[in-house]
Amino acid sequence: MAQQGHFATMGEMHCRSRKANFTIYPTDTPAIYPYALNTSSSTQYYVTLNDTTKVQSWRIYTSTDSSNSNPKFKKLTTVPKEGFETMYTAGYHQWSIVKALDVHGKGIRSSSRVVETFVPSEKLAAMCEEGGCPDAKGYDFGNSGGYLASEAQSGA
């Protein structure tokens, strides 16, 4: 924390900082966004958990079936946390959940729902690549029935 104070009207300043332990326990569940260009490509996992200093790693679980009330998930991997959002790549997996782990590998929070890997439609995939759809401006579910071209492609 930095504090600033003025002692004179002529611009004299005094600055002081203090260092203290700053620990935040999560109050939310981890978010996971799995993306694959198609079912033959790799899955990109984007994982984050806001407002916490306790997460040290992520354990990703996957399944090929989420249709019954008790799907079987297998541990895919454990990856170290990398800043605000961690990205991990693996082979294609249709369903995923994630668990946030502390420094001892103990679970802190798990994702609250099973997430299906996003695979873009054929039309949208034309605007996408292995890591996502950075050139797609949006997706129109209305009359055009497809992607909205990027500004570069639409001439805007």
Enumerate the H helices of the chain as residue ranges: 122-125, 151-154
Tell whether 43 and 61 lie within a shared domain: yes
CB neighbourhood size of 43 (10 A): 23
Q: What is the pLDDT of residues 89-121, one digit of tens each?
A: 999 999 999 999 999 999 999 998 899 999 998
Tell whether 59 and 112 lie within a shared domain: yes
Tell whether 73 and 139 lie within a shared domain: no
What does the alpha-carbon distance between residue 131 and residue 75 come to, in Å, rounded to a whole number?
Answer: 22
Q: Is the pLDDT reported for residue 144 higher than 80?
A: no
Q: What is the pLDDT of residues 9-29, one digit of tens each?
A: 666 665 666 677 777 777 889
Cβ–Cβ < 8 Å for 63, 98: no
Q: Is the pLDDT reported for residue 56 higher than 90?
A: yes
pTM exceeds 0.75: no
Of the candidates 62, 75, 77, 78, the residue with the CA atom closest to the CA atom of residue 114:
62
Q: Which domain holds residue 79?
A: 27-116
Of the candidates 139, 113, 112, the residue with the CA atom closest to the CA atom of residue 125:
139
Total domains in the fold of the chain: 2
Instruction: Examine residue 7 and state whether it is found in any structural domain, yes or no.
Output: no
3-state secondary structure of 124: helix
Tell whether 57 and 99 lie within a shared domain: yes
| pLDDT at residue 154, rounded to an integer | 42
Tell whether 62 and 129 lie within a shared domain: no
Tell whether 32 and 91 lie within a shared domain: yes
Instruction: Examine residue 15 and state whether it is found in any structural domain, yes or no.
Output: no
Please name the residues in contact with 5: beta carbons below 8 A apart, sequence gap of 6 or more. 13, 14
Region 55-83: mean pLDDT is: 87
Give the pair of three-digit tokens for residue 133.
């759809």
